[in-house]
Chain A
Amino acid sequence: MNILTYLIPISLILGGVGLVAFVYTVRSNQYDDPEGDARRILSDDWDDHPKP
């Protein structure tokens, strides 16, 4: 059962990474326009050079 000393922290850290990622997406307004973002990815306007 000694493997638990590694597995439990690993699982907690992985879950925490997910939580932090979610908090980041909420803070950076990524849920303001879900429909528009889903379509924007298909547009090739900024493919050759990044948006200024």
Chain B
Amino acid sequence: MTATMRPSPSACPACAAAPAAEALAASAVPRAQIALSLPTIHCSACISKIERALNADNRVTSARVNLTLKRASIDAAPDVTAEEMRRLVEGLGYEAHELDQGTLNATANDRAGRDLLMRLAVAGFASMNVMLLSVSVWSGAEDATRDMFHWISAAITLPAIAFSGVPFFRNAWAALRNRRLNMDVPIVLAIVLAIITSLWETMLSGHHAYFDAAMALTFFLLAGRYLDHRTRAIARSAAEELTALEVPRATRLVDGAEEVVNVAQLAVGDLILVRPGGRMPVDGEIVRGTSEIDRSLLTGETLPVFAGVGQAVSAGEVNLTGPLTLRATAVGAETSLHRMADLVAIAESGRSRYTSLADSAAKLYAPGVHILAGLSFMGWYLYTWDVRTALNIAAAVLIITCPCALGLAVPAVTTAASGRLFRRGMLIKHETALERLAQVDTVVFDKTGTLTTGMPQATNLETLPRPVVELALALAQGSSHPLAQSITRTARAAGIVAADLTDLTEVPGYGTKARYQNQEVRLGRASWTGAQGLSETATFLKVGEGAPVAITFADALRPGAAEAVQGLMDQGKRVILMSGDTTPAVEALATRLGIPQWMAEALPADKAARVAALTAEGAHVLMVGDGLNDTAALAGAHVSISPATALDAARVASDIVLLGNDLSPIAAACMTAKSATRRIRENFRIATIYNIIAVPLAVAGLCSPLIAALAMSLSSITVSLNALRLR
């Protein structure tokens, strides 16, 4: 590979690129990399059992289980499929799911995290050594010994800071280039000035050098940065694992033969087979088969829609009863699913206006510190006419006021709060999501799939005569349609035995029919059974020539939905229900949960516009939604939450992802976010108090390196401890 990759002296770049691309493609083929998610493994016996079984397969080159990530990575011959490996592991009694390798690769090596950790380690090593040398200076080393200690400190500090201070230098430079001030500008100024004055003092064999302060400052601030980075890396990798669980595959029909391919390889005009229960991979037109499709993730409608030859379908819809063959009309980025991304991009531009607490603190703080340091330099220079004294004092002021505690104040609290919420099943994806969550005063819920599970529940079975229910159960139990499954579940739970039927057949898209005592019985759509459609979700049972009987359904509530709504209202928040479903269905749910304000038949743009209108009125909106029709509203809201069952696009657009099935953590999360923000503000206040005590000392020229080191460490430790008090 390296041989062909060498740049050839050809004049045409494409000629040189083609063989190189071929070489790359050839080298990528031979090994199959497979990743499995193993959510139930927990002990060393699990590890060795799974690894032994996987390695026993002679096509597997190597298999390794990672217990921290609960994942297995397998290196195998190219003909091994993930499905085989998954079945092998499930045969051992462990739950296993395939993970999409393409999505995972992006996270596999967390370069930025490793880089920060390396810099932190170097800063830690250097600050320990310099601190030890400083202790001996403070306890009375004199003359030549003191000078030697200062020189050794300088020799350690200079390269260490040059290496580990890079993130600060880079950020400060980026801010200055855009003519802005951020927290990193005073940090860099303090570090650089401290080193310059200390070097100068050392050359003149002076008493005070601030090498230890500069080094400790870098170490503490890097620790804050690293905490911050880790919290977000954990959330990011968990969110990516959710995405990787949905492997994008489709069944393509080529000359009547089926082949399973990656969705990315589909082209316009391909024939695609979608089995019952499958999701449409592309936009297309039905060319064969009849079925019903569930469009709830796109529109919020709970009622399944009939689908027949010639009808257009969009990516993301779920096929319910019969197999369908589609001809693709739009693939990949052209599908309606992806076009929604434009709406999201427009909505998102509104959110980026939020300034985090740390940034607004920096805005107040940075100019104040610089003016103070400048003034003390001027004052002392005019008083003594000695640049050396004045510079020394200015450096002391900068070091004392340096935002060591301020740099730790936010990350320490967000790490503690995110960890706590993660244990309750919430993923905080965005760095300022917690602060924004704390400001929320209006909560907008989507209905289908968010407050409800999207699973219908039969409501009037107990009011129907028993023979009717027995017939309905007999017709329903063979079908995989959600309404039929719901009838089966409810009737079986009531202890009803199915009637005896003959010739049971399912007519995809319509319902099921059979013969019962020489009469035809049908269970299915209104038009097929000769009934009048109802406004609520319903299916109809027709016996012979008799009048059809309606079986009605209501959407089942998601666990914790009532508690979440109640909890939010108890906190004095305004709760609004917004759905694309029909008016009666939305009204029924609103009354059931006691939500005063609701809006039905809302289009995606309506939802986003309503959220924008609420924001314009000055409300801080929390949007909770799962569907494609919610993505624009999710991105436009002040802060947004989506459940793990949501479409990938919705999860990407939201700040927080709910991992479990339960909604009740939402109300508690608002409380946690409030107390976290309170702790952050408290931390700022603690840091300010330390400054108020120490700054007069520094300005008066009474500050020694010992006092600077004490103030810095004490304030950092207090701030970290205060963050740990978070409940």
Contacts and interface: CB of A to CB of B under 8 A. Distances in A.
Interface of A: 1, 4, 8, 11-12, 15-16, 18-19, 22-23, 26, 32-36, 39-40, 42-43, 45
B67 A36 contact: yes
B430 interface: no
A26 B117 contact: yes
Contacts of B114: 26
A16 B128 CA distance: 11
15 contacts: A4-B145, A11-B129, A11-B132, A19-B121, A23-B121, A26-B117, A26-B118, A26-B121, A32-B68, A33-B66, A33-B69, A35-B68, A39-B67, A43-B45, A43-B47
A39 B121 contact: no
Given A11-B129, A22-B121, A23-B118, 18 more contacts: A4-B148, A11-B132, A15-B128, A19-B125, A23-B121, A26-B117, A26-B118, A33-B67, A33-B68, A36-B65, A36-B68, A39-B43, A39-B44, A39-B67, A40-B47, A43-B44, A43-B45, A45-B52
Contacts of A39: 43-44, 47, 67
Interface string B700-723: 000000000000000000000000
A28 B294 CA distance: 49
B152 interface: yes
A42 B122 contact: no
Given A26-B117, A43-B48, A45-B48, A18 B125 contact: yes
Contacts of B68: 32-36
Chain A binding site: helix, strand, loop or mixed by DSSP? Answer: helix
A18 B128 CA distance: 12
A16 B132 CA distance: 15
A7 to B, nearest CB: 11
Interface in B121-165: 121-122, 125, 128-129, 132, 145, 148, 152, 156
A16 B125 CA distance: 8
Contacts of B156: 12
Nearest to A18: B125
Nearest to A41: B44
Contacts of B52: 45
A39 B45 CA distance: 9
A26 to B, nearest CB: 6
Contacts of B67: 33, 35-36, 39
Contact of A15 (B45, B69, B125, B145): B125
A9 B102 CA distance: 49
A34 B45 CA distance: 16
Nearest to B66: A33
Most chain B CB neighbours (cut-off 10 Å) among A4, A15, A36: A36
A43 to B, nearest CB: 5
Contacts of B148: 4
4 shortest A-B CB distances, which residue pairs?
A: A36-B67, A39-B44, A33-B66, A35-B68
A19 B122 contact: yes
A8 B69 contact: no
Nearest to A42: B44
Interface string B47-81: 11000100000000000011111000000000000
A45 B44 CA distance: 11
Contacts of B65: 36
Contacts of A40: 44, 47
Interface string B335-357: 00000000000000000000000
Contacts of B129: 11-12, 15
Contacts of A19: 121-122, 125
A23 B115 CA distance: 10
Nearest to B155: A12
A3 to B, nearest CB: 12
Most chain B CB neighbours (cut-off 10 Å) among A1, A11, A16, A19: A19
B125 A36 contact: no
